[in-house]
Chains A and B, each alone.
Chain A
């Protein structure tokens, strides 16, 4: 299964963009990359997902490398409410497309006022 490498922590100032990187050492060609975040004392919350091309939604943008071995979650203007642990879910074979999410340690994002 693919393992993910994410920075343990990152910091940002409010209103600034944040780029959260993720490396996936091996990949499945047909599985989706997912991103989730977890606010303190809450369950994980879906952020965005993609397969091969860049994706945008109301919460964030997802940039996927051409070889799919890395992706970057982009928060265009960080707010204090974006402070959370961000998890990149790699495109494991038999993973996101088959009912399973493989969580790593995630990146703790701190947003300063």
Chain B
């Protein structure tokens, strides 16, 4: 049971490049979500999903796309990277309903130059 796995752990992009941050969980969790954390700040919700085929926007969705074709995977796509997207990205998953804790991945540290 690996929990929530995020890849890559580190990435440097040039402005305008695109890439996909991967998130996979092996706990059969329905809920999955992406957050970004800027230096010295709390986490902000980017996109979330309550099940395969269902996604919705969070607080800061601009510049990011998601899809959820399987229960296990929830990739986050940066369409055209900008320096403002330099951040640490965390993926989380949980069972349905609020009565369960969310499990977070170890994060992807992204730098856009």
A residues with a Cβ closer than 8 A to B are 31-32, 34, 36, 42-49, 51, 87, 91, 95-106
Contacts and interface: CB of A to CB of B under 8 A. Distances in A.
Interface residues of B, number: 29
Nearest to A95: B98
Given A99-B31, A99-B33, A101-B33, A46 B102 contact: yes
Contact of A49 (B50, B99, B103): B99
A47 B103 CA distance: 10
Contacts of A47: 101
Nearest to A28: B98
A100 B96 CA distance: 11
Given A34-B101, A49-B99, A106-B42, A100 B48 contact: yes
Interface residue SS majority, chain A: loop
19 contacts: A42-B107, A43-B90, A43-B107, A46-B101, A51-B98, A91-B98, A97-B97, A97-B98, A99-B30, A99-B48, A100-B33, A100-B45, A101-B92, A102-B59, A103-B35, A103-B44, A104-B42, A105-B41, A106-B42
Contacts of A103: 35, 42-44
Interface in B47-71: 48-50, 58-59
Given A98-B50, A99-B33, A34 B102 contact: yes
Contacts of B99: 32, 49, 51, 97
A35 B33 CA distance: 17
Interface of B: 30-33, 35, 41-45, 48-50, 58-59, 90, 92, 94, 97-107
Contacts of A32: 98-99
A108 B1 CA distance: 31
A104 B50 CA distance: 22
A102 B41 CA distance: 13
